[in-house]
Homo-oligomer: A and B are copies of this chain.
Amino acid sequence: MDVIELRSDNAAGVAPEIVEAIAAANTGTAIAYGADDLTERLHDVVREVFEHDGARVFPVTSGTAANALALSAIVPPWGAVLCHETAHILNSEGGATSLLGGGAVMRGVAGDDFLMSPDSLRRALDSVGWGDPHYSQPTALSFTQPTDRGTIYSVDQIAALTEIARERGMRSHLDGARLANALVSLGCTPAEMTWKAGIDVVSLGATKNGGLSAEAIVVFDDHASDELVYRTKRSGHVTSKMRYQSAQLIAYLTDDLWRRLATNSNDRMRELAAGLAEIDGVELLNRPDVNMLFVRLADEHIDRLEAAGLLFYRMGPGVIRLVTNWSTTPGEIERALTAFRS
């Protein structure tokens, strides 16, 4: 029985274009630790794609590394990172930001749709004793874009929140483990979603969207970049053969590959959601803005879907998570819908 992969975009393989880029990089020798030509070119590519001459990029091999390191460069050890109370950095990274941030803490901010709301953020900031060392001082704001629940901030929402943060002297980070999916969904440019909206540091994920352990920290702040030179190394996050990460990221950001791959996963999800919306007994719990859908249906139906070869996560009684990826085919969606219908 052929299974249909809807558990996670992390479960997908590596896109052929990325495989080719790795193979193309595998000629001759190259100096190690990021001093190679490909990594240098990656800086140029990032500057062009993000339309920012001062941008610098640090390839790493996991999203947790990208997030915790990015935050460590904009939060002092006595600082607090504010993020939505359901944020990945707060709940699913084993406390990495506290380790790499030298003991910095994270604070959850409330908000509907798994998005921080301006009011909640203001309330959180107003309850702090600023300058009083009894209080961890909020110095960074972190967005998960899209969220782990498949919702997205509009560019205006990001700008409004970073503006509130900036008034308090805070800097802002965007956890873009699925950045391309959000970009495609919003139809905006990378610059619009990031530095033009007040973001200082970005975790740019490629792994979930066709890469091979290829993530990057994109930084628009020179001071943070200067720190990351040391912070990446001392946490073991500078690969010696960095050219193979850089080659992937160059391919990913070139000729819109990242958008094309993300477009596929978003489109497949929209088809899936459209189909599911017409099936009795299936309730959609979020808008299919990107490639992730939470669905409520009877547990006996869930069991049957599993038996039919659908791979997905159970979030609790009667709720499952479905995630499409860059390689999901229209045929797979059709077969999945058939399974749901029966």
Contact = CB atoms under 8 A, between A and B. Distances in A.
Contact of A233 (B19, B64, B76, B102): B64
Interface in A234-255: 234-241, 244-245
A297 interface: no
B19 A231 contact: no
Q: Which of A11, A96, A235 has the most CB of B within 10 A?
A: A235
Interface of A: 3, 5, 7-8, 10-14, 19, 22-23, 26-33, 60-69, 76-78, 80, 91-96, 98-100, 102-106, 131, 133-137, 207-208, 212-213, 227, 229-241, 244-245, 311, 325
A92 B33 CA distance: 12
Contact of A10 (B23, B106, B235, B241): B241
Given A61-B239, A98-B98, A244 B14 contact: yes
Given A99-B77, A136-B95, A236 B5 contact: no
Contact of A94 (B26, B29, B62, B136): B136
Contact of A96 (B28, B66, B95, B233): B233
Contact of A64 (B77, B95, B230, B236): B236
B94 A104 contact: no
A95 B78 contact: yes
A338 to B, nearest CB: 20
Given A11-B30, A26-B13, A94-B230, A235 B61 contact: no
Nearest to A98: B103
B233 A22 contact: no
Given A213-B241, A233-B133, A14 B26 contact: yes
A337 B99 CA distance: 50
A238 to B, nearest CB: 6
Nearest to A62: B236
A23 B22 CA distance: 11
A10 B240 CA distance: 6
B133 A230 contact: yes
A113 to B, nearest CB: 20
30 contacts: A7-B29, A10-B33, A10-B241, A11-B31, A14-B241, A19-B26, A29-B311, A33-B134, A61-B61, A61-B239, A62-B237, A62-B240, A64-B234, A66-B236, A76-B227, A77-B95, A77-B231, A78-B95, A92-B135, A93-B134, A98-B103, A98-B104, A100-B235, A103-B103, A103-B234, A105-B106, A133-B229, A133-B230, A133-B238, A236-B237
Q: Which of A12, A133, A207 has the most CB of B within 10 A?
A: A133
Given A212-B22, A240-B207, A93 B234 contact: yes
A93 B76 CA distance: 16
A248 to B, nearest CB: 11
A190 to B, nearest CB: 22
B244 A212 contact: yes
Nearest to A108: B108
A22 B213 CA distance: 12
A31 to B, nearest CB: 6
Given A77-B99, A99-B103, A104-B98, A213 B133 contact: no
Contacts of A80: 95
B95 A134 contact: no
